[in-house]
Chain A
Amino acid sequence: MPANALPGVSRRRVWVNTATKRIVAAGGIAVICAIALIIGYLLWVVLPMLAPASIKLHSSHDLSLETALQVASDDRFETVTIIHSDGRVEFRDSTSFDLVDEVNLIEAVLKSAKPVFPTADTYAALTEENDLVFFKVTHTIRFDGGDRRRIENRAEVLFESSAVPLMDVLDHDVFRGSAELRVAALASDGTITIHEYEDVEDSYELDEPRKLEIEPWGRNTKDLQILLGPRGRWLYEVDESTGDYRLIDIATIRRFHIAAEGSLVGQNDKFLLLAPILGRYSFLVATESGRLDHWSLGPTPSGSDFRKIREFYFASPIGKVVAEHRRKGFLAIDRTGGAHLGFTTSRRLLASASLGEIPRIVDFSPRGDRLLAIGSEATNVYKVSNKHPEISWSTLWGKVWYEGYEDPVFSWQSSSADTDFESKFSLQPLLFGTIKAAFYAMLIATPLAIMGAIYTAVFMSPGMRNWIKPGIEIMAALPTVILGFLAGLWLAPIVEKHLTSVLLLFIVLPIGVFLFALVVQLLPRTISKRFDGWLAALTIPVLVLLAYVTINNDAWISNLIFGMDAKLWFYEKAGIDYDQRNALIIGLAMGLAVIPTIFSISEDAIYGVPQHLVEGSLALGATQWQTLIRVVLLTASPGIFSAVMIGLGRAVGETMIVLMATGNTPIMDFNIFQGMRTFAANIAVEMPESEVGSTHFRILFLTAFVLFVLTFLFNTIAEVVRHRLRKRYGNL
């Protein structure tokens, strides 16, 4: 009933009462919402990875730009650069397509203007006189007096106008590294000449080149296409009529070496075109049957060769392929003008749209969010929304055949200094590492903790128990960073030095205790009776002494068992490499961190077994041990199970110990002498460097979410089981 119905209750008291109620309710619900927010937010970050990609017409302009040879755009897609065959460079506003600037760059008619691999802003223009002229396009943002933003567009010829005379050329390609410029040119007699210029900087003049001539292949030279490969160290030569190829190693400019020859198409198929993917470690090959095969340069037993690593299929043959500038994505346009957005690593076709025709010139914007297509009648800009093409279920959890690999593998390698790096986002090695770390930790913690709990709950004298329980609780609060530090800097070197004896301890200690028990057993009952309840204290000197003696005689024991150093033996006989910070260390250190959790909960469960059950069993003539196994443990088993689950949850999510006591290499090797990388440690290592909103960022959130779900699951199972247990005791 409302309080104001009662006499003598002032309005103030009523007000306080209602206010309290509201505040508590609001606060309580807020806290609960905050907790729910965690799941919600993690998902909110993860889910955009699943957003579908799209290509949509953004703007259409009535321009056919017939003389255009090449288009490009700046980083934010504000200015479009168009290179014309009359040597002009036009800068147009990306939205209105109005002319902003124009430069008469080269006084000659251009046959082609190709981007210099792998730069984004340098071009090599081939004049009709077969001179190769290099120029660079830059867009600089300037702030004028009144803080007005203005883009300054420039195009300038490099190397002080000194052109490279190619004389007679059918096809050419240019590579520009940090210290060299390589020009490959195919002459009409089929000879390929490589010119290498050293130490090129924008303003320097080109010095005398070093030359390398590659003999003709003996094919119809009109059909040949040449392409410089990764870091300018390879030359790809393809016969477009047959789809045959030569892979030529030109790493040193002094001599060449034909690394491989072969065919890129099947027996009854016809080669259509070849398009390199970012970095040119791999390329796509379109054929008449509508296939688009992904070939990669990679190691083979005999050296290097192209391998077909995945295939795409289309209804209509592909007539044009353009690659993205910063990722391993591409756009394939079929003969009907249908454009298909694809990604190589994840083998996904993400979106399709009709362009109406195969445009004469197509290019992505640098960020891959716009597509510029110059067609026969109009110039169109398409908006591409394609944020996370790298991700698919199979790239996260399955084996992926990455560029430059011999086989499909599970690999986690999120970033690299190279811009053309193919990110490897397989979660499998991390999951494996997490399981491995938890497994070894549980292997050591579970028996120790449960046995300890049994003794403490059943046999220990109350005097000792009063000390042990809080002691173990304090152990649970020990910061894991300290355990990790000790494990990594103190324990790991000791274990490495005394490997044999440390391994032997797992056998020596139980046997030693057994023998000691036998000796005590032989003492008169009047004496041994006094030890009841204090056995644990009694075993301490035995354990310490045995451990001390074993560790200190490591060299002798090692010689006795292996005849040499244990690490050496493992390496020579079993081929097992020893990592100083390995799973054994993790097992010991994280085991120590997990023991208190398991111990406390299972001790409570065992201690809570109703006394009348125990007494009944003993009264029926069972020994203490039989009572324990058949009655106590059986009754307490759900509680022990839940203790193990909670311990497992802790082991799975532990960060600092793993971070400090392993090498954090994401390998998949269950060997106890090797390290691992877990989800938690991976987050700690990579999260601070991850770019907000990137695929990597979202994947790290996904791993956090997986960790959350895993531990939540373990804990819920434990909770449900414990709940059942409580009910069962209620019945007893």
Chain B
Amino acid sequence: MSLGSWIKSGDPWIWMTASAVGACIVAVLGLLGLIAVNGLAHFWPADVVSLRYKNDLGEFILAGEVVQRETISRDQFLEASPNRGNVDGAEFERWMIKSGNRKFDPPDFRWIFEHEVVEQQKNEEMIVFERAEWGNAYGTLVAIRERGAEIASSYSWDELQDRIGRVEQLRNQARKIQKGSINRINYKLEQLRLEEQRRNLREEERIAKLERNQERLSQLSDAERSRLLTFNIETADLEERRRKLNDEYGLEELRLRNIHGQLDRDEIEIKIADGRTISIGLRDIIRAWQPNKMSIGQKIAHYFSSIWVFLSQDSREANTEGGVFPALFGTVLMVLLMSVLVTPFGVIAALYLREYAKQGPFVQLIRIAVNNLAGVPSIVYGVFGLGFFIYLVGGSIDDLFFKAAQPAPTFGTPGLMWASLTLALLTVPVVIVSTEEGLTRIPNALREGSLALGATKAETLFRIVLPMASPSILTGVILAIARAAGEVAPLMLVGVVKLAPTLPIDGNFPFLHLDRKFMHLGFHIYDVGFQSPNVDAARPLVFATALLLVLIIIALNLTAITLRNRLEARYRGALI
């Protein structure tokens, strides 16, 4: 076949279409791979290299993790370091070193050119300290001091671990007090304040009512009148309770202070790369490990414990360090609440449209409208949620039921409930469409058979129709959940914050606080990736968070797809 006729046959075009699929696959897999590699690498205890490098500014020593290697052209090299034009070479390799030690040896990320490195080695004794603030520190242990007195020298690694363990225990105790009893006392104190405010309001209302009733006032004697018109509320009981709570608070605070005193006991001295000795209070250290000494097994163990820390702990340092537990918790809780709302309403609406409403152009119109709503941008729902739910409905609720708390809004401000409601509205078309699809699949013969056997319509619905439609209902709900878990834009308007002081569920009555703001994985990504001052330090964490979110959503979608396939397989036989 000649080239001309080959082109004419259209075969090259088929190749082009094939390559379009190829490109899409590359994009998807590349994307997932990129997130996975970057997200998972974040937890690996990388070796710490000690480097000696020399350039026109002098000779330096540096220790840290190599986080990135790249090759740049001469132009880019000259752009980055204009006064080093005397160096030959067309391409240069540079390494990004995370040298940590922020606060006493900034910056914590540096680019080093490979050709400038004179010597590199891995010091077995190098320790990585994960600090509560200021990121990691790298150095070797010189001494451990207890209340200023040296008790151990550099080789006592186990001693260090024991003491870090002790600090962690103390820290946990402190957190327990802070988040447990102190939080509870504060909550009760706030309730007391509100109670007093409520009594104030009642009294004011009483007086205002009396003042309006001039007729009755004129009948009263002067003394009686002034007695009735005096503002007088009974607060002795409140005062008593408040005093008790304050006492309790003082006690807890004392305990807390005691723990903080114990936390300050130990101090270590480390030698950082440039030879300086730095002392760090042990209370600032969360974990310490010696990556260069670890065996592969230990590294794997450390890796999984890091993942666990990431999933189970609070974030620190404006969300750039630590875990994502509050965000994960907020996401899951919000999605759960949303599905509790969306499932019944979605299913009922679909049942109405398919089983009860009179089929005709009007229902068809509604069906199209519902279908189209799935395509309306999520931010529009956010605007609606903010305006309608929060300002209108929430504002009215506050006026009616939470007058005592005003001017601070209770429901008239973004919060968990409004976020769930908004997302429920956003995803209700998904559930309706999916359920309706399931209902259409059920042959009328089955319904008619049931009715013919004497079942009522409701019985047919509950015994025949709904069970048969349940897989598609479930598919719809899962798809709705998957969509809701990934939405960020509307949440930014209706309830998500970068840092929520408390979880929406805690030990204080009524346990589930629908009015609280919450954290969310998606918003976490946006916030840390784009609003954080130290992007280099935050990036690995953002990748890890993104990976977590992607995994959740892929798992949900796969469940939905599997369910749908099962459903198709199950009814293929039954429906013919």
Contacts and interface: CB of A to CB of B under 8 A. Distances in A.
Chains A and B are bound partners: yes
A466 to B, nearest CB: 10
A688 B492 contact: yes
B308 interface: no
Looking at chain A's contact residues, the main secondary structure is helix
A44 B28 CA distance: 42
A35 B35 CA distance: 37
Given A16-B458, A478-B550, A24 B351 contact: yes
B15 A701 contact: no
A357 B171 CA distance: 78
A704 B557 contact: no
B23 A543 contact: yes
Nearest to B30: A544
19 contacts: A23-B348, A34-B428, A38-B380, A41-B392, A449-B20, A451-B20, A475-B28, A478-B486, A479-B550, A482-B35, A482-B546, A489-B535, A510-B16, A625-B13, A659-B489, A660-B530, A687-B493, A708-B377, A712-B375
A538 B345 CA distance: 47
Interface in B366-410: 366, 368-373, 375-384, 386-388, 391-392
Contacts of A35: 369-370, 373, 425, 428-429
A45 interface: yes
B284 to A, nearest CB: 29
A456 B21 contact: yes
Interface residues of A, number: 117
Contacts of A629: 10
B149 interface: no
B534 to A, nearest CB: 13
Contact of B10 (A31, A38, A624, A659): A624
Nearest to B461: A20
A573 B483 CA distance: 46
Interface in B406-456: 425, 428-429, 432, 454, 456
B456 A707 contact: no
Contacts of A536: 18-19, 21-22, 25
A536 B73 CA distance: 34
A479 B21 contact: no
Interface size class of B (residues with CB under 8 A): 35 or more
A6 B458 contact: no
B344 interface: yes
A693 B118 CA distance: 66
A239 B162 CA distance: 88
Contact of B377 (A45, A470, A473, A654): A654
Given A38-B384, A455-B20, A480-B486, A653 B76 contact: no
B554 A474 contact: yes
Interface string B503-531: 00000000000000000001101100110
Interface stretch (A72-80, A321-329, A424-432, A713-721): A713-721
B28 A653 contact: no
B346 interface: yes
A147 B522 CA distance: 47
A684 B493 contact: yes
A561 interface: no
B76 A497 contact: yes
Contacts of A712: 372-373, 375-376
Interface stretch (A254-262, A610-618, A644-652): A644-652
B239 interface: no
Given A38-B384, A480-B486, A486 B31 contact: yes
Contacts of A701: 383, 387
Given A27-B344, A716-B368, A481 B488 contact: yes
Nearest to B25: A540
Nearest to B414: A688
B457 interface: yes
A707 B522 CA distance: 23
Interface string A31-46: 1101101100110010
B467 to A, nearest CB: 15
Given A452-B24, A479-B487, A555 B376 contact: no
A25 B355 CA distance: 10
A712 B15 CA distance: 36
B94 to A, nearest CB: 13
A146 B231 contact: yes
Contacts of B98: none
Interface stretch (A227-235, A335-343, A513-521): A513-521
Interface string A433-467: 00000000000000111011011100110000000
B21 A28 contact: no
B10 A9 contact: no
A46 B561 CA distance: 41
A147 B207 CA distance: 12
A576 B522 CA distance: 35
Interface in A226-259: none
B22 A539 contact: yes
Given A518-B3, A650-B375, 8 more contacts: A27-B352, A29-B352, A38-B373, A38-B376, A510-B19, A592-B27, A625-B14, A659-B489
A629 B373 CA distance: 33
A555 B554 contact: no
Nearest to B357: A28
A486 to B, nearest CB: 7
A137 B405 CA distance: 33
A87 interface: no
B25 A471 contact: yes
Contacts of A448: 20, 23-24
A535 B558 CA distance: 26
Nearest to B90: A555
Contacts of B338: none
A418 to B, nearest CB: 25
Contacts of A468: 21, 25
Contacts of A3: 456-457
B415 to A, nearest CB: 14
A448 B18 CA distance: 10
A644 B425 CA distance: 25
A173 B334 CA distance: 60
A704 B384 contact: yes
B24 A481 contact: no
A477 B526 contact: no
Interface in B32-46: 34-35
Given A481-B486, A486-B31, A38 B425 contact: yes
Contacts of B19: 509-510, 513, 536, 539, 542-543
B16 A513 contact: yes
For A23, A454, A474, A626, which residue has the most chain B Cβ atoms within 10 angstroms? A474
A711 B76 contact: no
Contacts of B526: 481, 484-485, 656, 659-660
A474 B6 contact: no
B13 to A, nearest CB: 6
Give the 7 A-B CB pairs with smallest separation, nearest first. Answer: A625-B10, A653-B377, A28-B352, A479-B486, A27-B348, A535-B18, A555-B73
